[in-house]
């Protein structure tokens, strides 16, 4: 039998949100993002159309650079001037270019897709599946099956042929790799999207996880969520009983503990199935469900809070503490409980079925995770979106002030536009640095990824934020160091 060349090097393991990041899946903005039209932007879950050149060169490329300095420095250090020269024409950042970085730590999904499409059997099956979803003609299906795998991978993602003809809609949200699945210890929980716009990307990911040699040793660890029978038997098109779950609602906070958000995208049934599967497969012992108001502003759990350090979190205040209604006011009794926009946290333990634990508020849950799961001995610090000042709190949450990605404990990436949140970070003794400056310092050796501490890195965001997700959403961690 042929030896799998990746088996020895490709390890999966995530036990926290903050351990040093070693390997992740990403997807850099493809031409499909430049095909979003105003009339479809909302259906395709973008708030606006984006300028492709800017989002790539002036925004996402900085993310790629920074990830490389932290996760694969040999590919970038000492070579930055050449990589970014005019002659290089951004080849380092273009998945189909011969000079693409091809990092096995900063892993580009499009290339994994191209790898599996090189197998004729998989190419036929996946092409048939994509064509069935997209309603392509049989002749087009035959043409696609005969297309070069690298080109085909790009077509499946962008919806556009090499001659720029659009054959079906793009999947512009694939840049938000977080949502397609979550690494939980050495398992991967696949998503089950709530929105039609995210169906094709889920299928592409399913094929990758089950067929790419990188994941060969972990195929038995891929968990998929089925629909319950009640769903098929329901009358009409009611979404009731649908199991939906998106990766942005799943957070691996400590070795034995996962958070699942019930939200606009993840249904109670989805959380229910996920909990049962996680317990049955011995993946974790505790799952805490955080129910947040189901609305576009909040979308996923990671849009309302993320972890920064073992003892530090950034959160929207109204989620941390449900809005306090004065019980002497009649309105308190007139509104349905869900309209009060209350947030609840309910913890399920594998060995205590039927005995969930209720938290007074989300901040109490975060404090419990910091102190009891992660062994923090210092008081838990909460940084509030917009410094907890109205209207900056909600304005900045909308542009992902709470959606930060930790490269290591205390070193997080966020958008440069959330001024009041940045001030709140400074007040909590974090250094704040622009990514452009940090990259210069990493290249010159003035700063080192291993020694950097307590830093919020500001990333350019004018175009990216129109797609409605931050760097937590733009990352699917596959391997993190355990925190001591
Ligand atoms: N985890 C996240 O919050 N991901 C952001 C997803 C944004 C995308 N435009 C969506 O609406 O699905």
> Is 75 within the bounds of a domain?
yes
CA dihedral 363, 369, 374, 377 (to 10 degrees): 40
> Is 58 within the bounds of a domain?
yes
Looking only at the bridges linking them, the beta strands covering 344-349 and 357-359 are: antiparallel
Scored b (16 or more CB within 10 A) or e, 191-220 reads: bbbbbebbebbbbbbbbbbbbbbbbebbee
Q: Which atom of ligand 1 is nearest to the CA of 265?
A: 12
* 130-137 long-range contacts, CB within 8 A, separation 24+: 130/156, 130/200, 130/203, 130/204, 133/199, 133/200, 133/203, 134/167, 134/168, 134/169, 134/200, 135/168, 136/167, 136/168
- Res 313: pLDDT: 98
- Res 484: pLDDT: 77
Q: Which atom of ligand 1 is nearest to the CA of 246?
A: 1
Scored b (16 or more CB within 10 A) or e, 231-242 reads: eeeeeeeeeebb
- Res 237: pLDDT: 60
- Res 333: pLDDT: 78
Q: pLDDT-based confidence at 241, cuts 50/70/90? A: confident
Ligand 1 pocket, residue 191 CB under 6 Å: no
What is the average pLDDT across 132-145?
97
181 Cα–ligand 1 center, Å: 13
Please tell me the residue having the least CA distance from ligand 1 atom 11.
45
- Res 2: pLDDT: 45
Q: pLDDT-based confidence at 239, cuts 50/70/90? A: low
Please tell me the residue having the least CA distance from ligand 1 atom 6.
469
Which residue, 376, 392, 232, is CA-closest to 313? Answer: 376
> Is 154 within the bounds of a domain?
no
What residues pair up with 480 in beta bridges, in sequence order? Answer: 21
Say yes or no to pLDDT of 362 above 70: yes
> Is 59 within the bounds of a domain?
yes
Q: What is the rounded distance in angstroms from the CA atom of residue 201 to the CA atom of residue 179?
A: 10
What residues pair up with 305 in beta bridges, in sequence order? Answer: 315
User: Residue ranges of the alpha helices (H) in 212-330?
Assistant: 229-233, 268-280, 317-320
Please tell me the residue having the least CA distance from ligand 1 atom 1.
248
Best residue among 473, 475, 476, 477 to mutate for probing ligand 1's pocket (most ligand atoms within 8 Å of CB) is 473
Q: Which residues, other chains included, contact 406 with Cβ-Cβ below 8 Å and sequence gap of 6+?
A: 17, 18, 21, 306, 307, 308, 412
Ligand 1 pocket, residue 173 CB under 6 Å: yes
Best residue among 48, 170, 174, 176 to mutate for probing ligand 1's pocket (most ligand atoms within 8 Å of CB) is 176
Phi, psi dihedrals of residue 276, rounded to the nearest 5°:
-60, -45
Flag the least confident range among 148-152, 342-346, 410-414, 431-435: 342-346
Sheet containing strand 411-415, edge to edge, reads 405-408, 411-415, 455-459, 431-434
- Res 6: pLDDT: 45
Say yes or no to pLDDT of 393 above 90: yes
Q: Which atom of ligand 1 is nearest to the CA of 178?
A: 1
In whole numbers, what is the pLDDT of the chain averaged over residues?
94
Ligand 1 pocket, residue 299 CB under 6 Å: yes
> Is 85 within the bounds of a domain?
yes
Token pair 């109490």 in the structure block, residue: 364
48 Cα–ligand 1 center, Å: 13
Q: What is the rounded distance in angstroms from the CA atom of residue 400 to the CA atom of residue 390?
A: 16
> Is 339 within the bounds of a domain?
no
Interface pTM, i.e. ipTM: 0.98
Q: Which atom of ligand 1 is nearest to the CA of 195?
A: 12
- Res 346: pLDDT: 97
Q: What is the pTM of this model?
A: 0.95
What residues pair up with 432 in beta bridges, in sequence order? Answer: 456
Q: pLDDT-based confidence at 236, cuts 50/70/90? A: low
Ligand 1 pocket, residue 468 CB under 6 Å: yes
pLDDT of 178-204, one tens digit each? 999 999 999 999 999 999 999 999 999
Token pair 């490389």 in the structure block, residue: 68
Say yes or no to pLDDT of 327 above 80: no
Ligand 1 pocket, residue 176 CB under 6 Å: yes
Q: State percent of the chain over pLDDT 70.
A: 94
304 Cα–ligand 1 center, Å: 12
What is the average pLDDT across 394-410?
98
Token pair 């979106």 in the structure block, residue: 385
> CA distances (Å), 217 to each of 6, 101, 184, 326, 430, in order?
10, 25, 15, 55, 40
What is the average pLDDT across 63-85?
98
pLDDT of 417-441, one tens digit each? 999 999 999 999 999 999 999 999 9
> Is 459 within the bounds of a domain?
yes
Q: Which domain holds residue 451?
A: 29-98+383-484
Q: What is the rounded distance in angstroms from the CA atom of residue 271 to the CA atom of residue 276?
A: 9
Which residue, 312, 282, 258, 278, is CA-closest to 456? Answer: 312
138 Cα–ligand 1 center, Å: 33
> Is 329 within the bounds of a domain?
no
Best residue among 25, 191, 248 to mutate for probing ligand 1's pocket (most ligand atoms within 8 Å of CB) is 248
Ligand 1 pocket, residue 473 CB under 6 Å: yes
What is the average pLDDT across 66-93?
98
Flag the least confident range among 283-287, 340-344, 385-389: 340-344
Best residue among 45, 261, 399 to mutate for probing ligand 1's pocket (most ligand atoms within 8 Å of CB) is 45
Q: pLDDT-based confidence at 9, cuts 50/70/90? A: low
What is the average pLDDT across 103-123?
98
193 Cα–ligand 1 center, Å: 11
Ligand 1 pocket, residue 177 CB under 6 Å: no
Region of residue 152 (left: phi > 0; alpha: psi -120 to 50; beta: else): alpha
Per the structure, the count of domains in the chain is 1
């Amino acid at each position: 039998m042929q030896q799998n060349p990746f088996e020895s090097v490709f390890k999966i393991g995530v036990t926290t949100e903050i351990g040093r990041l070693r390997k992740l899946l990403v997807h850099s903005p493809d031409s499909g993002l430049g095909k979003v039209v105003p009339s479809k932007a909302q259906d395709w879950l973008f708030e606006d159309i984006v300028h492709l050149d800017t989002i790539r060169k002036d925004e996402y490329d900085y993310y790629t650079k920074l990830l490389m300095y932290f996760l694969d420095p040999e590919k970038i250090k000492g070579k930055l001037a050449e990589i970014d020269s005019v002659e290089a024409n951004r080849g380092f950042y273009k998945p189909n270019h011969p000079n693409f970085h091809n990092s096995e730590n900063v892993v580009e999904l499009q290339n994994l897709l191209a790898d599996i499409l090189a197998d004729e059997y998989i190419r036929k099956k996946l092409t048939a599946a994509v064509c069935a979803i997209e309603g392509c003609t049989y002749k087009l299906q035959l043409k696609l099956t005969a297309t070069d795998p690298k080109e085909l991978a790009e077509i499946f993602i962008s919806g556009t042929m090499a001659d720029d003809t659009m054959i079906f809609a793009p999947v512009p949200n694939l840049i938000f790799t977080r949502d397609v699945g979550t690494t939980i210890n050495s398992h991967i929980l696949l998503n089950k999207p709530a929105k039609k716009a995210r169906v094709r990307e889920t299928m592409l990911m399913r094929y990758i996880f089950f067929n790419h040699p990188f994941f060969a040793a972990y195929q038995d660890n891929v968990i998929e969520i089925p629909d319950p029978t009640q769903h098929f038997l329901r009358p009409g098109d009611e979404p009731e009983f649908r199991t939906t779950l998106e990766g942005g609602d799943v957070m691996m906070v400590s070795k034995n503990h996962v958070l699942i958000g019930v939200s606009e995208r993840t249904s109670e049934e989805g959380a229910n199935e996920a909990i049962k599967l996680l317990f049955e497969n011995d993946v974790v012992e505790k799952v805490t469900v955080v129910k947040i108001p189901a609305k576009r502003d909040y979308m996923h759990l990671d849009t309302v809070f993320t972890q920064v350090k073992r003892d530090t979190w950034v959160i929207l205040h109204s989620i941390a503490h449900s809005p306090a209604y004065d019980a002497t006011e009649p309105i308190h009794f007139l509104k349905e409980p869900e309209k009060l926009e209350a947030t609840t946290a309910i913890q399920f333990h594998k060995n205590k079925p039927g005995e969930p634990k209720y938290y007074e508020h989300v901040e109490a849950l975060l404090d419990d995770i910091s102190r009891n799961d992660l062994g923090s001995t210092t008081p838990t610090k909460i940084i509030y979106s917009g410094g907890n000042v109205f209207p900056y709190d909600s304005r900045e949450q909308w542009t992902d002030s709470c959606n930060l990605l930790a490269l290591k404990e205390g070193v997080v990436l966020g958008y440069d536009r959330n001024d009041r949140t940045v001030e709140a970070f400074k007040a909590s003794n974090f250094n704040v640095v622009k990514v452009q400056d940090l990259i210069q310092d990493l290249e010159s050796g003035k700063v080192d990824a291993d020694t950097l501490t307590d830093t919020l890195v500001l990333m350019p965001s004018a175009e990216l934020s129109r797609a409605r997700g931050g760097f937590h959403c733009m990352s699917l961690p596959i391997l993190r160091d355990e925190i001591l």
